[in-house]
Structure formats: structure tokens, C-alpha cells
Amino acid sequence: MGTAAAVWLTGPAAHAGSYVVREGDTLSGIAARFGSSPAAIASVNRLANPNLVVAGQALRIPARLTMSSTHQVAAGETLSSIAQRYGTSIGVLARVNHLSDRDVIVSGTTLKVPSASLSAAAPAAPALSPAAAPVAVIEESLERHAATHGLDVSLVKAVAYNESGWRQDVTSSVGAIGVMQVMPGTAKFVNDVLGGGALDVNVADDNVHLGVMYLHHLLNMMPNEKRALAAYFAGPGNVGPKLTEGQAHYASVVESLKARF
């Protein structure tokens, strides 16, 4: 069921793109076809269950990550200057190093630097950005949906603030959209599996609803709030027995933001 939404190549050398799951597909089979990995596809699409892909589901396929070197951050350097030096982008550097805050890098940190080909293969943002919405409207939406799903409103507000600064008119370098930075694949999962129905990731109130439903699912799925936040950041399939530095940093930033709300 379904056909490839963007056919690049059909063999192992296929590059990044998008793919609509067919009947009988598995994540490992799709990864092998495109020269990626199940973990990378699950992470980019924030798949709640990496072992479950549904026919008709649209997946973003990341490029194979090939690292050409590492770079030790010097005092005064920024992610932008490092990206420019190596011919890559801020978004790609942040993604491969699991940086949740692109404006903060610590002197002495060793960064993985991808090859220039990875930068060229990075997923492009949609041509049209989702429409902006007033902050007051977004705050009301966050409060309403948090209450509906029985979540701590300060937690929901903190996640939304850390993800987008409560802005609907933003799209990340990997295609996450809006207030809650929801990936299209995650939106489909929430709509099809968690009962969202026809929530539209490009509409502010629906975007908040999608993010809150997914966060609620992760809080029920993971043993504690910190690990649920790590799963929201990296995808539950990528949360191991010990959180990565990026996952732990994301969770601590959100938990510290709760006090503001």
C-alpha cells in the first residue's frame, strides 16, 4: 500500500529523502535500502515504537552519517563559525552532536564534524512555514490541553518553551514543526495510534494537542519524567539504560524551566 513519495535511488546508495511505508515493510529493511540505520530513522521521525511502522506512514530518511573529523571547541568559538569552517550547517552539527541549545557550546568540548556530503544531504525545511499565532493563544492552548490530559501544566509549558519559545511559525532543520516541534511522522502516529484523529501539525492548537498527547504517551511509557523528556527529545528507541549527555541536558533544561511557569 502506498508508493515512494520521493524516489532517490533504489539500492543501498540511496540518499536522504522521504518514503511512504508499504505493506510488509520493516524499519530495518527501509534503513538498509536507503543506507541509513533503524535508530537514525526512528530518531528523526521520533517513532514511539521503532518496531512498528504502518503502511501509508510517511517517514523522513536521514543520510548515512559519515564523520570526517572532530573539532575541539576553543574559547570564543560559536557553532556558526565552526560550521562555516568545515563547510556544514549549524543544524547538522547540532543534530550529530545531540546539542539541545545551539547557542551554548563549552570550550574544550569535542564535536563530531560530518563530511560535506552529509551537509548537502540534510533534510530541507518545508517551503511554507506554519502560520504564527499570538503567545496568549498558545498559552491558553497549552493550559487547556495539559488539563484535558491530566499533565502538569508547568511541564507542558516548559517543554513547549524549550522546543520553540512558544512559537508556531518555526520549523527545525530536520522538519519538526511548530510550538511543540512535532515531526510529521509523530503527528501521524498520534493521529492514527493514540486517537488524535485529524489533528494538523501546521495549526497551533492542533500542534499543541499533538505534542501534549505524545508527551502523555511517553510519560506513561517511560519509568520517570526525566526519561520521558529524553524520549521526547531523541525518540524512545534511542533512550538506553544511561541517558546520553544531550538527552540529560535536555531533560534538565526542561525541569529547570518548570519553575518559571
Kindly report, residue by residue over 209-227, the tens digit of the pLDDT: 999 999 999 999 999 999 9
pLDDT value, residue 74 = 81
- Whether this prediction's pTM lies above 0.75 is answered by no
The number of distinct structural domains making up the chain is 3
| Cβ atoms 40, 31 nearer than 8 A | yes
Rounded distance between C-alpha atoms, residue 199 and residue 214, angstroms: 12
User: Are 43 and 147 in a shared domain?
Assistant: no
In this structure, what C-alpha cell is assigned to residue 249? 541536558
Q: At what angle are helices 153-164 and 225-234 packed, to 10 degrees?
A: 30
Q: Which of 140, 163, 225, 255 is catalytic?
A: 163
pLDDT value, residue 39 = 67
Give Cα 111 to chain centroid, integer Å: 20
pLDDT value, residue 84 = 66
CATH of residue 41's domain is: 3.10.350.10
Who has greater pLDDT, 73 or 64? 73
User: Are 107 and 214 in a shared domain?
Assistant: no
Who has greater pLDDT, 87 or 80? 80
Helix or strand holding residue 112 (H, E): strand 110-114
Q: Is 90 exceeded by the pLDDT of residue 82?
A: no
Rounded to whole angstroms, the maximal C-alpha distance in the chain is 53
Q: Is 70 exceeded by the pLDDT of residue 15?
A: no
pLDDT value, residue 158 = 95
| Cβ atoms 207, 201 nearer than 8 A | yes
Q: Is 70 exceeded by the pLDDT of residue 184?
A: yes
User: Are 28 and 77 in a shared domain?
Assistant: no
pLDDT value, residue 85 = 67
Q: For 128-158, write each residue's pLDDT tens digit.
A: 557 889 999 999 999 999 999 999 999 999 9
Task: Compute φ and ψ for 17, nearest 5 degrees.
Answer: 180, -150
Told to judge if 163 belongs to the known catalytic residues of this protein, a careful annotator would answer: yes
User: Are 250 and 153 in a shared domain?
Assistant: yes
**Using 50, 70 and 90 to split pLDDT, how confident is the model at 175?**
confident
Among candidate residues 210, 101, 125, the one with its CA nearest the CA of residue 175: 125
| Cβ atoms 28, 38 nearer than 8 A | yes
Under DSSP, the state recorded for 169 is S
Grid look-up 514511539 returns 48
Rounded distance between C-alpha atoms, residue 133 and residue 204, angstroms: 7
pLDDT value, residue 117 = 41
Q: Which domain holds residue 91?
A: 67-121
Q: For 35-46, write each residue's pLDDT tens digit.
A: 666 766 776 677
| Cβ atoms 59, 19 nearer than 8 A | yes
Who has greater pLDDT, 203 or 44? 203
CATH of residue 220's domain is: 1.10.530.10
| Cβ atoms 8, 115 nearer than 8 A | no
Among candidate residues 100, 146, 92, the one with its CA nearest the CA of residue 124: 92
Helix or strand holding residue 251 (H, E): helix 245-257
User: Are 156 and 195 in a shared domain?
Assistant: yes
User: Are 241 and 164 in a shared domain?
Assistant: yes
